[in-house]
Amino acid sequence: MQAIKEAVSGIRQEIAKVIAGQEEVVEEIIIGLLMNNGHILLEGVPGTGKTLLVKTLAQAVGCDFKRVQFTPDLMPSDIIGTNVYNFSTGAFSLKKGPVFTNFVLADEINRTPPKTQAALLEAMEEKQVTIDGNSYRLEEPFFVIATQNPIEHEGTYPLPEAQLDRFLMKVLVGYPLPGDEKAVLLSYHGGFRADRLKEAGVNAVLSREDIVNTREKIRSVVVEDAVINYILELVQGTRNNFNLMVGASPRASINLLLAGKVFAAMEGRAYVVPDDIKRIAKPVLRHRLVLKPEAEIEGLAADDIIQLILDSVKVPR
């Protein structure tokens, strides 16, 4: 697993050429990349560098990147593609949509109607799309990062809980620290341009094949029975908490387990420890919980409840 740790360190170094700070955000997105079906929901106010971060990561791992701006009039065919009639040949040909790539950035996913959201979510789950009865496989790695604005809700179509549950993590992108923001200002003052990442010296330290092979290696990470029981107790804690209407699903348990294996490998270990699960618990669970109205009135957030559960569950030794 040491090779995986070194590879992740290389990715971080390339991203740091463009993105100042945001270490936890970068770490969580890399976990999603290295896990099969580890799609990420990024939440943050506009202008915090979400698109730039994803573009930089794609370049650092040698993958193709496409961004789709989700709008109220976006149709499913605008994402997955459609068959187009060719008058000269008298036959239909497939015009592929932007989903046929490695990295898809679904910008402001909550601004498009549920039918269009579902088209992308089907591709996320099945890694294929169906157009006019024909199925087309999506190339590996296939990684979706969706963004949403936590402040502006007018004219939006919030993702229902069943669709939120399909994302491995909800990653919160906050404002940079003053020192990091100064580094950004100095970078732009020196001539940096977000549309010219190659000029910033971002190099591909991994290939698409490396990502697929790394995912296979991570499967061998050992998880002892005590850690599995720890995961179960945490998830059960969300289902029995009096502040919650809906607790975490079995998919949450699975994602805690698999993301824990990825994080352990990123740390250079071939086994999972309870601290790995504690590190990823909030991003894996926060979007799967539904708070009672009275808990929200009291000012509680999902992260507060997760922390209370983490504090109450005995950590195995």
The stretch 195-213 carries a mean pLDDT of 84
**Which pTM does this prediction carry?**
0.89
Per CATH, the homologous superfamily of domain 2-214 is P-loop containing nucleotide triphosphate hydrolases (3.40.50.300)
185's tokens: 């200002």
Split at pLDDT 50, 70, 90, the class of 11 is very high
When pLDDT is averaged across residues 164-188 and rounded to a whole number, the result is 89
Top-confidence residue, 129 or 253? 253
More confident residue, 195 or 74: 74
- The sign of the dihedral angle between the CA atoms of 221, 227, 229, 230 is negative
In whole angstroms, what separates CA 20 from the centre of its chain?
Answer: 19
What ranges in 108-220 are assigned the alpha helix state H?
114-126, 161-164, 178-189, 208-218
Mean pLDDT calculated for residue range 26-43:
92
Q: What is the pLDDT of residues 151-168, one digit of tens each?
A: 766 667 778 777 788 899
Angle at 252 between CA 250 and CA 254, to 5 degrees: 75
Q: CA 101: distance to chain centroid?
A: 16
Cα–Cα distance, 28 to 143 (Å, whole number): 13
At residue 211, the pLDDT reads 92
Average pLDDT value for residue range 241-259? 92
Backbone φ and ψ for 55, nearest 5 degrees, come out as -60, -40
Task: Give domain 220-312's CATH number out of 3.40.50.261, 1.10.8.80, 1.20.1560.10, 3.30.70.260.
Answer: 1.10.8.80
213 three-state secondary structure: helix
Helix axes 250-266 and 274-285, enclosed angle (nearest 10): 130
Give the model confidence (pLDDT) of 259-305 as tens digits.
999 999 999 999 999 999 999 999 999 999 989 899 888 888 999 99
| DSSP per-residue letters across 245-262 | EE---HHHHHHHHHHHHH
Domain ranges in the chain are 2-214, 220-312
